[in-house]
Amino acid sequence: MSGVFADVQALVEELGRTVVSEYASDVDEKARFPSEAFEAFKANKLLSAYVPEKFGGHGLSISELCKLCEILGAYCASTAMIYAMHQIQVACLVHHGQTSSWFQQYLRDLVEKQFLLASATTELGVGGDLRSSVCAIEKNGDSFVLNKQAPVISYALDADAILVTCRAHADAPASDQVHVLVKKEDCSFAEIAGWDTLGFRGTCSSGYELKSKGHCDQIIPAPFVDILAQTMHPVSHLTWGSLWTGLASDSVHRARQAVRHAHKRNPNAPPVSSLRLSEVDEQLFSMRSGLYREIEEYKTLLAEGNPDAFSNFGFSIRTNNVKLRCSEMLVDIVGRALMIVGIMGYKNDSPLSLGRHIRDAYGAAIMVNNDRIRGHNATMQIAMRERS
Shortest CB 199 distance to ligand FAD, Å: 8
> Does 314 participate in binding ligand FAD (rule CB under 6 A)?
no
Which of these, 80, 84, 368, lies nearest to 247 by C-alpha position?
80
What's the one-letter identity of residue 166?
C
Sign, CA torsion 151/153/157/161: negative
**Residue nearer to ligand FAD on the CB measure, 92 or 118:** 118
Q: Smaller CB distance to ligand FAD: residue 263 or 372? A: 372
Task: Tell me if 375 contacts ligand FAD by CB under 6 A.
Answer: yes
Q: How far is the CB of 61 from ligand FAD (least distance, A)?
A: 24
- Is 128 near ligand FAD (CB under 6 A)? yes
Question: Distance of CA 320 to CAs 32, 133, 368, Å?
Answer: 30, 22, 11
Q: Residue 284, CB half-sphere, CA atoms under 13 Å: how many?
A: 26
Residue 122 in contact with ligand FAD, rule: CB under 6 A: yes
Q: How far apart are CA 66 and CA 303, in angstroms?
A: 16
Per-residue interface string for the shown chain with ligand FAD, residues 55-74, x marking contact by CB under 6 A: --------------------
Do 310 and 229 form a contact (C-beta atoms < 8 A)?
yes
Pattern 202-231, binding to ligand FAD, x per CB under 6 A?
Answer: -x-x--------------------------
| DSSP characters over 19-79 | IIHHHHHHHHHHT---HHHHHHHHHTTGGGTTS-GGGTS----HHHHHHHHHHHHTT-HHH
Residue 6 Cβ, how far from ligand FAD at the closest point, in Å? Answer: 31
Say how far apart CA 64 and CA 9 lie, in whole Å: 8
Verify binding: residue 278, ligand FAD, rule CB under 6 A: no
Q: What is the DSSP letter of 266?
A: S
Among 90-98, 115-123, 220-228, 291-299, the segment contacting ligand FAD (CB under 6 A): 115-123
Which region among 67-75, 146-154, 241-249, 318-326 touches ligand FAD (by CB under 6 A)? Answer: 146-154
Q: Position 294: which residue type?
A: E
Contact 91, 331 (CB under 8 A): no
Among the listed ranges 58-66, 105-113, 139-147, 369-377, the one in contact with ligand FAD (CB under 6 A) is 369-377
Residue 158: name the closest of 112, 204, 208 by CA: 204
Nearest-approach distance from CB 82 to ligand FAD, in angstroms: 9
Our CB check for ligand FAD shows the closer of 232 and 352 to be 232
Q: How many residues bind ligand FAD (CB under 6 A)?
A: 22
User: Shortest Cβ distance from residue 153 to ligand FAD (Å)?
Assistant: 5
Contacts to ligand FAD by CB under 6 A: 85, 118-122, 127-128, 152-154, 200, 203, 205, 363, 366-369, 371-372, 375
